[in-house]
Every structure is written in C-alpha cells, then in structure tokens.
Amino acid sequence: MFFYGKIIPMQLNAQESPIYKTLNTVFGFTAFRAHQEDIIKSILNKQDVFAVMPTGGGKSLCYQLPAALMPGTAVVISPLISLMKDQVDAAQSVGLSAAFINSSLGVRQISETYQKLKADKIDLLYIAPERFKVLHFMELLKNIPISFFAIDEAHCISEWGHDFRPDYLNLSNIRTTFPKALIAAFTATATLKVQEDIIRKISLRSPFLVRASFNRPNLFYQIEKKTAVNSQILQFLRAHPDESGIIYRTTRNSVMETAEFLTSQGIKALPYHAGLTQKKRTENQEAFNRDDVSVIAATIAFGMGIDKSNVRFVIHADLPKNIEGYHQETGRAGRDGEPAVCLLFFSRGDMSKIRYFIEQIADDKERLIAFDKLNRMVGLVSYNLCRRKQLLKFFDEDYPADNCGACDICLGDAQEVDITVDAQIIMSAVKRTDERFGIGHIIDIVTGANTKRIRQCRHNQIKTYGAGKHGDKNYWRFLADELLAYKVIRQEGDRYPVIKLTDKGLDILFSKVRLTALRRQETKAASLGSQDEHYDKILFEKLRIIRKEFAEEQQVPPFVIFSDKTLHEMCRYYPVSVDEMRKISGVGEVKLKQYAETFMAEIEEYLAERPDISIEKISSNTSCSSINLRQQKKPGQSIENTYLLFQQGLSIDDIAKQRSLAASTIIGHLEILIRDARDIDPDRLIDPVKYKEIEKLFLESKQWNLTPVIEHSNGRVNYTEARLVRAFLLR
C-alpha cells in the first residue's frame, strides 16, 4: 500500500511554522538557504520536485526535514554504499531515525531493519539503486508506509550526463510500481538537456522545478601552469597545514606516486583508486573522513557525493575531461559554506592523453560530444577570462558582476594591452592558409619554424611566415587562447580541429576595430586567506581536538559532530551559556544536550586565561522553545558539580543519570578536572594493569591521537579508557 503523509499547513507567522521550528530545534539553523524552503513546502504539499542545486547548497536538508515531519518512511536512493553510513550517522546525530540497506550488512541486520520499517519506526531509509531490481525488496516497499522517494545524484539517470549509471534506469520502476508516489530528484550538476531527460525517464508529474545558481561564492578558483607537479602540490600544502583536501590524478600510478611523495615529506596522505581492494579503499576513505589523515590522493573513483563537509581544498593535478566533472569534483570543497580553494595545474600535454582515450570511443556521436566537452574544459583553463563566469556559462547561467573577487583572473594584477597587430598576424596566417590548419601549425608559421610540414605546404613563402619572431611559442599560444575566448577565431572539427575566422575576426583583420586584452601576473592560491573570515584559530584547534574525541568515541566522522562552520562560529562568539550556544549555527536540540557542556567548558577555560579578549554578541532572529536541560549555569559550575558527585563515590554512569547528561559529557568533565590536577584517583576509573598498558601504547605511538592506541590494543582498550589515561599523562 502507499501511505499519504499529512499536509502540514503553513502558518502566517513563518517563524512559528512547523518547518521553522524543526529547522531550528532539530537541525540547529535559524534560516533556510536559497530554495530550500520552497522545495520543502512542495514536498509537504505532495508535489513532485526536480532540483538542481550546487554541492554544499543543502540538498540533504530538503528531504531530511520533510522526513522528520511526515508520517511514514522517506526512501532515499543514494549511489555509493561507502556514503550511506555517513549519511545515516549525520541524520541520527540530529535525532532522526535513519537506516540503510546495502550489501555491507548481514542477513540479521537487514532483517532487523525490515522489522523497523514495517513498524513505521524509520524516518529515512537509504538504499542503492540496485535494490530496485530485487523483487523481495520491491514487495517490502509495497507493504510499508512511504512518505516519498528522494533520488540523490539524479544526473546518473541520463546518458547525456557525465556520470551515467545503468542501474539508475531501474528507478523508472518507482512510478509504475507506486503510481501515486511523490518523487523528489536532486542533482548538483545537470545541463538543461540532462534535466529534461531525467524528468522524462522517471516520469515526474508537473514537478516543482528549481534550477539554483551553480555559483559557489565560497570557492576560490585558481589555475597554474604545471611544471614539477608534486613539488607544486607540496608547496601549496605547506601553506595550508592541517587542512583537509583531495588531490585528483587521472591514473592509478600517478595517485600512488603523489601519495608516496607526500608521505615521504611528512604529509599525512593516503591513496584511493579502483586498483586497491574494497577493504583498503574503505579504510582509506574512513581515515580521511575521521581526520586521521589530512589528504587523500585519488582518481575520480573517489567519487560523487563525498559527505565530508570540512574539505578546505580540491587540487586537480591533471586536466579533467569535462566541465561537469570538474564542477562536481571542486564542489566537494567547502560544503560547510566556509572558504575553500580549487586549484588546477594545467599542462597542454594532458590534452593529448585525454584525446587518445576519446579516440577509442566507437560511437561517432559520443566521440564528438566528448571532444566538444574537452575543448570547453581547455577553454576554461586557458582563456584569460573570469573562471567563475566561464564555469557558470557552461550551465547556461550568466554571472552578473564584472569581477567575481574569488578567482585568479579577477584578483591577479592585470594590465590592459593593445593586441590588434599581433592578432592580425595570426588571422592573416589563418586566412592565407585557407582556414585548413590547426593552431599549432599557425603558430609554427608566425614564429618562422622550419618544419617538414611547412616546407611541404610552402607556407614558408607566405607573407606572415616569421612575422611573429618577436614572441615565443608560449606568447602566441596565449594570444590564440585570447582570440578564441573573445570569439575572434573559432575551432571546427573534433580530433584535429582547424581554425576559422569569425565575422568579428574579419573586422579586426581588416582594421575596422581594435582589440585589447588583459595581461596578468599569476596569483598564488594562498591568496584565499585574504577572504577568510575572522575566527580565533588557537581556540579552533582546541575545539577540533574535543570534536575528534567525541567522533572517535562514537565512531563517526568529526563533521558529523559539528562542521567547521559551527566551530568557526564558536571561535568568533565564544558561547559559554546554553542560550548563547543555542544561537550557534548547526547546534540543534540533540547536539545541545550531547556536546554543549564540554565545548562550553573548554571555551570558558580558554577565556579565563585570556581576559583581554573582546566578545562579539551573537544576534538571533528566532525565538527558540525551551530545551529540557539543567538550570542554566556556567560550564565551570557544571564541572564542579560533576567533581563533587565523583568525590561522593558515584560512577560515570551514575553521575550522568543523576545530572541528565550524556556519559560522554561527564567523561569530558573528568578530562578537564584531571588535567587541572584535581584529586582524582585513576584506579577508580581504569584498572591499574590496563592503565600501564595504555600508557605504554601512547609512548610507543609517539602521539596523542586515540585511534592508534585503540587499534594496537586489538580491542582490549576502549575510547573512554584511552581518553582518561591520556588526560593523566598530559597532566
């Protein structure tokens, strides 16, 4: 049967409506991002949805929030098994009942999930598209209350998309099997043609359409000439220590080479490619998600929908095949909305490698499409035009400003120069050779090269032969790119494109108009720091440690606890009361109960040591309902209460129960008390023999990270024991 969810009436006072209340108390936000509210209202009103929203635009909230409000289960189709656990962990961290079903689970685990589904105890169910081929699963869906279907990464449905997956075609069964079902489809990258194809294939009925801006204002786009690429990457990483990032390479060998080089230079880096075992790929991805390593070097197999929100940079060490892929891969940076760098190292040698693979495509139509996409990608990195303008233009979007303020072109030192005469030299060579040759041959002509082809064609006898000896080939390549960018010349053909003159070019050739271009000095990618928002970086590092401890204890990635954006706000506003912490973006009711005490205690201790810090008031435009916590007290008083109860002989669990706090919060209090040299007997917390074992493991690992200690103990030591012993050792 198909279950209809209730329509939630929208109240006149938006701040008091169920969706705003849920937004604040569950997810910890006070306002929606662009388009989120309209999409959520459409789902609640049972209208199909098709939404193209950039990575980091908040797509997951668009189906998680309705799932929290509507009866029944929202079925979310997600393409990668490796992502599902992170997605479920994130949903559970805010109090939603979420689960996944995929091949990583045993029969018993799947059976338990089935029972919960039948009992209507799951808000969100994440599944892979392959499940729609399993008859037993389809029969199960027919007999549970379903609120709606959400299809993530919907561009995989279309053969015209850059990441087509045949298994996604099974999703056409949704409409035939559940004719009354509400379907919401989401993607971060789809041209208008791909959008139309998706809507047709999954039979969306008069969907509410959202085509959000593809612009990611927090991303800084930087292109640099590739020379010694591993050394260039290392230079960038030295300028961005301890930041999480992804380095994309095109081949498995180059991935291994880069990962090994960085490791030899003291950078915590791991490889990821299809040649590694599934177990190794999973281990490396989890290490990256947990912040155990800061860098992952990967092929595009490290793929779509990476859920890690605190990726501060994405480096392409090789040229991407097309703009769609580049946009999606760079979109994995800065998902939390904080500044991030997208750096691409470009060499024209990369083009020949991609062309070779394109030439192996048997289908003529597909091959032409691939060549066209490659040429547009080359234009993006070659043309001396705003990177953002070019990127958005590919997706049929015009960027309104003259200067985006966040790419190397717009922030580089530029000088306007007259290039009319040199442009005429190139165009004259094109005209005199009957527009039948490619740009490489034209450059050989104007620079006076003595090649066999020039001699055979007698092009050493035309008037413009050698007319450009005043510039080297790099200069003329730059000039040709400028002429292509300004549509003075155009390329025609796929494998071996020839140069043709446009009407605009003819006007310049015959001196009817003049042409100017910008000559710029290269801008280093580290310039992102100029747009970085202010926050206390010393406190940020302290809060990162606490976040990591909670994450290790709960075996989830740190960003599931709090995003970098949330920590940055804590490091700007220094919240030391529940009311203040409640106003921090990303701190909802569940997280307030679980983590606020420990973070506020660390902040208060930090402020006590630095009385000269001026604290900016947090503004809030929402009135939050009271949350069932203890009487509002300063964290210092709360820790003292924990200390008093511990001195009375109560265990951690007893203290947590009496104070209505999480056990992890009490452990955090004890850590602070231990390091403060309070009278706490370690024998009450840890067996003396085990204490010695843990102490030895820390000394052998030569670091304070908990994970190596846990792993090397082969299960004999848990995170609580390791945290407390570390506190005694640090004292």
**Model confidence over 267-277: pLDDT tens digits?**
999 999 988 98
* Greater pLDDT, 623 or 552: 552
In this structure, the answer to whether residues 280 and 378 fall within a common structural domain is yes
Nearest-angstrom CA–CA distance, 285 and 583: 33
Q: Residue 133 belongs to what domain range?
A: 14-211
74 part of a folded domain? yes
What are the tokens at 62? Answer: 């668009």
CATH number at 426 reads 1.10.10.10
Domain boundary among 193, 211, 229: 211
530 part of a folded domain? no
In this structure, the answer to whether residues 183 and 225 fall within a common structural domain is no
Domain boundary among 184, 211, 238: 211
Taking only the tens place, the pLDDT of each residue in 110-126 is: 888 888 988 889 999 99
Taking only the tens place, the pLDDT of each residue in 605-664 is: 888 777 777 776 665 543 333 333 333 334 456 778 888 888 888 888 888 888 877 777
Taking only the tens place, the pLDDT of each residue in 475-517 is: 888 788 778 877 888 888 766 788 999 988 888 888 877 887 7
Cα 718 to its chain centre, rounded Å, is 31
Residue 8 has pLDDT above 60, yes or no: no
Residue from 687, 594, 678 nearest 639 by CA: 678
Q: Which residues of 201-215 are buried (b: 16+ CB within 10 A; e: fewer)?
A: bbebeebbebbbbbb
In this structure, the answer to whether residues 250 and 365 fall within a common structural domain is yes
In this structure, the answer to whether residues 138 and 34 fall within a common structural domain is yes
Per DSSP bridges, beta strands 311-316 and 244-248 are parallel
In this structure, the answer to whether residues 62 and 171 fall within a common structural domain is yes
717 part of a folded domain? no
Cα 222 to its chain centre, rounded Å, is 17
270 part of a folded domain? yes
In this structure, the answer to whether residues 226 and 158 fall within a common structural domain is no
What are the tokens at 554? Answer: 């709960």
pLDDT at 413: 61
In this structure, the answer to whether residues 600 and 452 fall within a common structural domain is no
CATH number at 577 reads 1.10.150.80
Q: What secondary structure does DSSP assign to 626-693, as a single string?
A: P---SPP--HHHHHHHHHHHHHTT--HHHHHHHHT--HHHHHHHHHHHHHTT----HHHHS-HHHHHH
Taking only the tens place, the pLDDT of each residue in 686-707 is: 888 888 888 888 887 766 767 6
In this structure, the answer to whether residues 318 and 174 fall within a common structural domain is no
Taking only the tens place, the pLDDT of each residue in 569-614 is: 999 999 988 889 999 999 998 898 889 888 988 888 888 777 777 7
408 part of a folded domain? no
CB 209 within 8 A of CB 259: no
The residue-averaged pLDDT of 95-123 equals: 87
Domain boundary among 488, 508, 528: 508
**Count of domains forming the chain:** 4
* Greater pLDDT, 535 or 61: 61
